[in-house]
Amino acid sequence: MNASPLASAGVSAIQLAAAVTGGPLIYGLMAKVRARAEGRAGAPVRQPLLDLRKLAAKEHIHARDSSAVLPLAPLVLIASTATAVAIAPLISTGPALGRTADVFVIVFLLLLGSVAVALGGLDTGTAFGGMGASRAMTIGALAEPALLVAVFALSLQAGTSNLPGIISATLAHPQWTASPERVLALAALVIVVFAEAGRIPVDNPSTHLELTMIHEAMVLEYAGPELALVTLGQAMRLALLLSLLANLFFPWGIAVTASVPRLLAGLAVLGAKTAAIAVVIAAVEVSTAKLRLFRVPEILSAAFVLAILAVVTGLVMP
């Protein structure tokens, strides 16, 4: 697709705005589903956005022994996630820089954000920060390979690692979505999304119990605007992962031309798709217990094996 630079930039801007507002709304939606399933009324869906506004207005407080890394880490998280959101084909196959939207770039941009937050956790010089960073990096070290091999399987099938290319190829070959390698890669990616987004079988985003915290322990020392950035970055990450999951395995509805009605339709469809996935994830969360930390590697290695099997299936099956 050869859209004008202005239109491409517009697409990126819409995607960014959608992730900034949509990410927290997904959190709100999942909390709402959970509350309803537990028989509570729950907070309004827009509650996370209100929380962010409240946090942003507070003063900056840093831990006494922290260095410049502590305030820098949330900025890197936001910048890397925003870059990934801006280049990824979410509502249209032609965002700005979309020509360079390689799946491996997205994977390593996500890793950049994780590394930054882990270093922020270690910078506090407390037991909690170190504990969270250690656990998060352990899980990340195991989730990363599964993610990389799963997207490698998708690239192998489409013959390109270019994300718009993969999505366009899927649109051209609808039978691919039911092919064994897609299904295996989907299974691996779903597990990885749970791990990367810190959702329940892996991590519990609403706990503050010492023994079970992972992400929350790492960001325990953040307050005020910096906490808002970390939370927003995490929410944007979830929005990005869910949108990519939706577009890679069910790409219909994505805009292939840059006309305004098409883009709006693409935005609406993307919103509906991610909301649907979010509801399913929330339902899974309600019905499962959090795994013990040392059981998590088992499901992540299962994801890795599934991803390897996806590659093998793609090679063996014509």
Partner 1 sequence: MSAALLLGSLGLGAAGSLVGASLPARSRVLAASVLTTGACIAALAAAAGVLASGGTVTVRSAEVLPLTGVTLSLDPLGAVFVITAAVVGTAASCYNVGYAAHGGGSRAATALLPVFITSLLAVPAAASIATFMAAWELMALSSLLLLLTGHRRPEARDAAQWYAVMTHAGAAAILLAFVLIGAHAGGQSFAAIRLAAGGVPPAVRSLAFMLALAGFASKAGAVPLHVWLPRAHPEAPSPVSALMSGAMVNLGIYGIIRTGDGLLRGGELWWWLAVVGLGVVSALFGSLHAAASPDLKRLLAYSTVDNMGLVLIGVGAAGALAVGGHRVLAALAMIAALFQLVNHSAFKGCLFLAAGSVQHAAGTRDLDSLGGLLRRLPVTAALFGIGALSICALPPFSGFASEWLLLQSFLRGFSAHGAATATALLAGVAALALTGGLTAAAFVKAFGIGFLGQPRTPAAADAGEAAPSMVAGTALLAVPCLVLGVAPGAVVPLLARAAATLPGGTAPGPLRAGAGLAVAGSTDVIQPALLATALIAGLGLAWGLVRLRGRARARRAEAWGCGRELQTARMQYTATSFAEPLQRVFDDVLRPDRDLDVSHLAESRYFEQAIRYRSRIDDAVERGAYRPLTGLASRWGEVARRAQNGSMHRYLGYGFAALVVLLVVLA
User: Of 181, 203, 216, 221, which one interacts with partner 1 (CB under 8 A)?
Assistant: 221
Mask for 41-60, x = binds partner 1 (CB under 8 A): ---------------xxxxx
- Confirm or reject binding of residue 93 to partner 1 (CB under 8 A): no
User: Of 40, 53, 65, 174, which one interacts with partner 1 (CB under 8 A)?
Assistant: 65
- Report how far residue 191's alpha carbon sits from residue 32's, in angstroms, rounded to the nearest whole number: 22
Residue 65 burial by Cβ neighbours in a 10 Å radius (0-12, 13-18, 19+): exposed
Task: Count CA within 13 A, CB hemisphere, residue 266.
Answer: 25
User: Of 33, 88, 148, 246, which one interacts with partner 1 (CB under 8 A)?
Assistant: 148
State the minimum distance, in angstroms, from the CB of residue 191 to partner 1: 14
- Report how far residue 92's alpha carbon sits from residue 276's, in angstroms, rounded to the nearest whole number: 19
State the minimum distance, in angstroms, from the CB of residue 60 to partner 1: 4
Strand partners, 92: 255
User: Of 93, 155, 204, 274, which one interacts with partner 1 (CB under 8 A)?
Assistant: 155
User: What H or E segment, with its residue span, contains residue 285?
Assistant: helix 260-287
Choose one: 32-40, 144-152, 243-251, 260-268; the region binding partner 1 (CB under 8 A): 144-152
- Report how far residue 22's alpha carbon sits from residue 66's, in angstroms, rounded to the nearest whole number: 32
User: Of 112, 256, 265, 283, which one interacts with partner 1 (CB under 8 A)?
Assistant: 112
DSSP single-letter state for residue 60: P
Closer to partner 1 at the Cβ: 18 or 45? 18
- Report how far residue 269's alpha carbon sits from residue 250's, in angstroms, rounded to the nearest whole number: 11
Number of residues counted as binding partner 1 (CB under 8 A):
86
